[in-house]
Amino acid sequence: MAIFDTVLIIGGGLIGSSIARAARATEAASTILMADKSPSVCDAITRLSLADDVSTNAADLALRADLVILCVPPGQMASVAEAVVPSMRTGAVLSDVGSVKGRTIKAIERYLHGGVTFIPAHPIAGTEYSGPEAGFATLFKDKWCILTPNDPDSETATQVAKFWETLGSNIAFMSPERHDIVLATTSHVPHLIAYTLVGTAVDMEAVTQNEVVKFSAGGFRDFTRIAASDPVMWRDVFLENRDSVLEVVDRFIEDLSALKRAIRWDDGDALLDHFTKTRDIRTKIVDAGQDSAAPDFGRQES
Amino acid sequence: MAIFDTVLIIGGGLIGSSIARAARATEAASTILMADKSPSVCDAITRLSLADDVSTNAADLALRADLVILCVPPGQMASVAEAVVPSMRTGAVLSDVGSVKGRTIKAIERYLHGGVTFIPAHPIAGTEYSGPEAGFATLFKDKWCILTPNDPDSETATQVAKFWETLGSNIAFMSPERHDIVLATTSHVPHLIAYTLVGTAVDMEAVTQNEVVKFSAGGFRDFTRIAASDPVMWRDVFLENRDSVLEVVDRFIEDLSALKRAIRWDDGDALLDHFTKTRDIRTKIVDAGQDSAAPDFGRQES
């Protein structure tokens, strides 16, 4: 049974196109509408038969929707909300998939009118690929989706939670502020560091790019996967969540400086203590089903 | 046909036990001897039938070997060489698998006698698991093995190269100094950064460990895999290769500071420029066969 009758997905990238596929496969929605400002993305949506109706004009389609999900980069959320909310029916629900909640919510709330309820959401799922072709129906299966509504017990929040559960996700409720510091730690700063390190390696005069590519199996290549993610989205994430990101980065630099000092002063015990502690958390992540226990992600035949 | 008649592998960890399995499977050696100072590792070697003879006394077995490979952490290479080289026959070859070459080679060379040739080697292969059970015969297949001998054209260097080719590796020759700066970039500093970030996340008071585990799919979990590698080996790598590691870390911190500044000053163009540049190198690594193109390492069913 459909959780929402008609769903409008704005933005046909990895996440938007995966929601369309998953909603179709699970029948979480009866009618799927999609909008994207790019005509070539709309063409791809049509070619891939992802939606019942497609348009470059989101506001036109918003007239018919029970649920509108903003699947655009964080920096475009507010302007898209400004464009579509006036067309939304009384009783309709607005949601999003943004990786940042605090600033984005404040920016979107300026454009709400009385008849529309906003239930912010963030599915913790993705790959290093972008665009409508990169999506797939099982992207959200067994992944967490964090909701940060004003009232987690409201009927609308429950309905959006059910929608994501139908797509296969586990649901967590959280305040926007807590979301932003937790995700800065588990996602935003790891991405910033990966982007930085890959840039550092490419710029090292003492090492050729050919050598970096050839000998990347020693650890570097895992960073390049993360640093291949959508640049526009990540630019927006860092700018929108700057306070939490800078807080975590500063802690990271402090800790890195302490390890640097231990290396410089030949303090093997301090290094060993640190490296033993970090092994533990890996076991917990594998036990919690958040990663594969296969050696080297199963890249190796064993 | 065997490349070396009798090979002694000292150290029964991930690498040593994988060499034993690979040498058996490919017949790169006729007789495989293994030594480990730990009686329980020797028991595991016996139980897994990895060798024709096993002992806690490496010097005893060294009497019979044509090739001795040191597969112990970098910090133990020199003392193990000191113990076994006096027992080695004239004409026998000494090699190693150490992740650091400059300092390790200097330390080992003090114990060489005229009859023994030393051909330093470093297979760029591994997983996050340790110990004799973690090894497998295809670990080195299609991976690079770097050799840093004084004379790359010598008969002995050619023979060691053939041994590694028989195990499935591609061979690169390099000076020890170049090896150490290249590997600091592609392997040592990525590991140091992963260890640091995982520690930072665990220590954040604002984020519970449970949250870190639950929401690790956003990028963090890839770092935890790298930071689960053998702590003793990595302590030794950072201390033995300290000059190159500190040089690359300092460059990384400079670059991270520049990105921090861009975030603080809302300089989206600087961020976007940087993030676009780093995407390119990923494509080259996948094209070079050094990583899988499967989204998210194929963790996702697509």
How high is the pLDDT of residue B300?
55
Question: Is B261 buried (19+), middle (13-18) or exposed (0-12) by CB count in 10 A?
Answer: exposed
CATH of the domain at A135: 3.40.50.720
A187 touches chain B (CB under 8 A): yes
Contacts of A171 in chain B (CB under 8 A): none
Residues A154 and A63 in one domain: yes
Instruction: Judge whether residue A1 has pLDDT over 90.
Output: no
Task: Tell me, yes or no, whether A12 lies in a domain.
Answer: yes
How high is the pLDDT of residue B302?
40
Q: Are A263 and B222 in contact (CB < 8 Å)? A: no
- Residue numbers of B between 29 and 58 with CB closer than 8 Å to A: none
**Cβ-based contacts under 8 A for chains A and B:** 353
Question: Is B227 buried (19+), middle (13-18) or exposed (0-12) by CB count in 10 A?
Answer: buried
Contacts of A288 in chain B (CB under 8 A): 213-214
Under DSSP, the state recorded for A93 is E
Q: Over range A165-181, report the average pLDDT.
A: 97
A225 touches chain B (CB under 8 A): yes
Tell me the pLDDT band of B279, cut-offs 50, 70 and 90: confident
Residues A182 and A226 in one domain: yes
Nearest in space to B67 (alpha carbons), one of B188, B156, B195, B189: B156
What is the phi/psi pair of residue A92, to 5°? -75, 160
Q: Are A213 and B276 in contact (CB < 8 Å)? A: no
Residues A127 and A232 in one domain: no
Residues A235 and A168 in one domain: no
Contacts of A220 in chain B (CB under 8 A): 185-187, 190
Determine the residue of chain A that is closest to B300 in CA distance: A139
Report the 10 Å Cβ neighbour count for A193: 28
**Interior angle at CA A138, CA B224 and CA B217, nearest 5:** 15
- Residue numbers of A between 95 and 124 with CB closer than 8 Å to B: 99, 124
B289 touches chain A (CB under 8 A): no
**Least CB–CB distance from A136: residue in B221, B227, B302:** B302
* B57-105 residue pLDDT tens: 999 999 999 999 999 999 999 999 999 999 999 999 999 999 999 999 9
How high is the pLDDT of residue A300?
55
Residues A18 and A163 in one domain: yes
Q: Are A199 and B272 in contact (CB < 8 Å)? A: no
Higher pLDDT, B230 or A36: A36
Q: Please say which residue of B174, B208, B226 terminates a domain.
A: B174
Residues A116 and A131 in one domain: yes
Nearest in space to A57 (alpha carbons), one of A70, A45, A72, A39: A39
Task: Tell me, yes or no, whether A275 lies in a domain.
Answer: no
Q: Please say which residue of A147, A174, A201 terminates a domain.
A: A174
Tell me the pLDDT band of B301, cut-offs 50, 70 and 90: very low
Q: Are B212 and A186 in contact (CB < 8 Å)? A: yes
Helices B242-264 and B231-240 cross at an angle (nearest 10°) of: 90
Residues B21 and B140 in one domain: yes
| Min distance A258 CA to chain B CA atoms (Å) | 9
Instruction: Judge whether residue B25 has pLDDT over 80.
Output: yes
Contacts of B202 in chain A (CB under 8 A): 277-278, 281
Task: Tell me, yes or no, whether B293 lies in a domain.
Answer: no
Residues A8 and A143 in one domain: yes
Q: What percent of chain B has pLDDT over 90?
A: 84
What pTM, to 2 d.p., does this model score? 0.93
Residues A110 and A197 in one domain: no
CATH of the domain at B247: 1.10.3660.10
| Min distance B109 CA to chain A CA atoms (Å) | 22
Residue type, A196: T
Instruction: Give me B186's structure tokens.
Output: 């592609």
Nearest in space to A1 (alpha carbons), one of A170, A168, A166, A169: A166
Task: Tell me, yes or no, whether B283 lies in a domain.
Answer: no
What is the phi/psi pair of residue B288, to 5°? -80, 0
Task: Tell me, yes or no, whether B27 lies in a domain.
Answer: yes
SS3 of chain B: helix, strand, coil, percent, to 5: 55, 15, 30
Residue type, B45: I
Under DSSP, the state recorded for B232 is H
| Min distance B61 CA to chain A CA atoms (Å) | 29
Residues 6+ apart with CB under 8 A from A61: A8, A33, A34, A35, A53, A55
Beta carbons of B281 and A198 less than 8 angstroms apart: yes
CB neighbour burial string for B71-82, b if at least 16 within 10 angstroms, e if fewer: bbbbbbbbebbe
Q: Are B202 and A278 in contact (CB < 8 Å)? A: yes
| Min distance A193 CA to chain B CA atoms (Å) | 7
Distance CA B152, CA B176 (A): 12
Contacts of A209 in chain B (CB under 8 A): 281, 284
Task: Tell me, yes or no, whether B297 lies in a domain.
Answer: no
**Interior angle at CA B220, CA A21 and CA B236, nearest 5:** 145
ipTM over 0.90: yes
Residues B145 and B182 in one domain: no
Residue that the structure tokens 């590698």 belong to = B229
Instruction: Judge whether residue B225 has pLDDT over 50.
Output: yes
Report the 10 Å Cβ neighbour count for A119: 24
Residues B30 and B157 in one domain: yes
Task: Tell me, yes or no, whether A273 lies in a domain.
Answer: no
Residue that the structure tokens 């594969």 belong to = A292
* A14-66 residue pLDDT tens: 999 999 999 999 999 999 999 999 999 999 999 999 999 999 999 999 999 99
Residues B154 and B31 in one domain: yes
| Min distance A97 CA to chain B CA atoms (Å) | 13
Q: Over range B179-196, report the average pLDDT.
A: 96
Instruction: Judge whether residue A302 has pLDDT over 50.
Output: no
How high is the pLDDT of residue B299?
72
Show the domain range for A158: 4-174
Beta carbons of A212 and B286 less than 8 angstroms apart: no
Contacts of A181 in chain B (CB under 8 A): 204, 206-207
Q: Are B186 and A215 in contact (CB < 8 Å)? A: yes
Per the structure, the count of domains in chain A is: 2
Task: Tell me, yes or no, whether A223 lies in a domain.
Answer: yes
Average pLDDT, chain B: 95
Q: Please say which residue of B121, B145, B174 terminates a domain.
A: B174
Contacts of B274 in chain A (CB under 8 A): 195, 199
How high is the pLDDT of residue A72?
97
Average pLDDT, chain A: 95
How high is the pLDDT of residue B277?
85
